[in-house]
Amino acid sequence: MEQKENRVVLRGTIVGEAEFSHRVHGIAFYRFPLSVPRLSGREDRLNILLAHTPEEPPIPPEGTFVQIEGEVRSFNNRSGIGSRLVITVLARSLTESQ
């Protein structure tokens, strides 16, 4: 069966303040790191990109446990020596979780 959907659901803790990334068609995008625990006890830190308008509730602060649904995006960053794959989650929804 061929998979035709790019979808991810993450639950983790925001471990950095959201910082402005860029603006597209008048919509501001913010970037922040999310810590997601592994079964081994280690954690993965993932880059989250979230579209946010002034009418929406504020982005939760650092230390908040959240659930994010979105899509995985990646690109090869060739600006340094060699090529480096950069993986980001484009958040479609963010809700505080328990």
pTM for this predicted structure: 0.84
CB atoms within 10 A of CB 98: 5
For 19-76, what is each residue's pLDDT tens digit? 999 999 989 999 999 999 999 999 999 999 999 988 888 999 999 999 999 999 988 8
B/e letters for 45-61, b = 16+ CB within 10 Å, e = fewer, are: ebbbbbbbeeeeeebbe
pLDDT at 29: 95
